[in-house]
Structure 1
Amino acid sequence: MHGPASSGWLLVALCAATGAYCLLRMRSSVEEQRRAAGGEALMGFGMAAMAVPTAVFTPPGWAWPGYAVVFGATGLHALWAARSGRHHLHHVVGAGAMVYMAVAMAGSPAHAHGQGTSGIPVLTGSLLLYFTGYVLLTGVRLIPVAAVSGGGPGAGRSLAAGWGDRPELARACRLAMGIAMLAMLLAM
């Protein structure tokens, strides 16, 4: 992505840390959580790779079409998985956004990106609206219900559940990736 190197590195760190945590979540005993964590790890590491500042490393010409193919396949896999639950549709949108950014980056030189247009493209604006809503909704879902209802710390949480099976950590992971996606789309 094109932008200041310091914010680029922060984005790389956020996405790589999120991807690493998602890899650890793949050790869950729940199969559905393992599958979701695998897709989220791929998304996190892919976003980290795409966010490396171009002042430090300019990817070779084949990298952007490679990203488009990988995330296109990821989107198709998520679309297939959406048969069993609509929560997979977010992964379809996320993979589509990655394909869109990869295609945009492949078709535009580093210094001319975004020049010659008035305003932002409709697809970029639509994705910005979607991810803004997603981030806000996910953030609200992180508010502990136990605190609102008067329960004590850890109310309703099983002590037998491992740290990889805690839904609030998975939501925080998704929130971090949603914020990173917003930053990447804004940098376009």
Structure 2
Amino acid sequence: MATTRAKKSEMAQAADNLAQAAHHVGEAVTQKLDQVGAAASAELGKAKKAALKKRDQAKRKLDAMLKKAEARVKKAMAEAEKSVRAAMRKGEQKVKAAQKKLAAAQATAQRKAKAAAKAVEKEAATLKKAAATKLATAKKTAAKKAPAKKAPAKKATAKKAVARKAAVKAPAKKAVARKAPAKKVAA
């Protein structure tokens, strides 16, 4: 038996056509959404790349600024160390110069002291010699004059000297006693 196909009604065909159209519209919308998503994703990628690029630039600038600052700090430290070393050298030179001056002054003082001591010794020797010469001369003169004098005369002079000493001691005065001042009584 032959089967006959039943013809669809116009309504069924219209429903099928509508279903196909809805399916095509759905696919078109999906494609459009995919395209918009891809475009948005591409734009997002571009924006991300731009943001990353700006971040990298900022980082490079910051690194450059840090390097410059570090270089300045190193330079300042080197200059400070250099000036400190120079100041230390100057100080050491001043200390050495002062030590040399002190040593020279000490040596000069020692030389002058030795020279003064020698001069004093020489003067003392000269005075001693002169005193010895005068003493010898006085002894010679006394020896020449001594035999001319009489021996008893010496004893009489000695007695006169003792009498003079006794006379000097005799007139001793008594100290006058003072009255003590009256004590004041507190009222």
TM-score (norm 2): 0.18
Larger RCO: 1 or 2 (CA < 8 Å, sep 6+): 1
Normalized per residue, the structure richer in helix is 2
**Bigger Rg, which one:** 2
* TM-score, normalisation: structure 1: 0.18
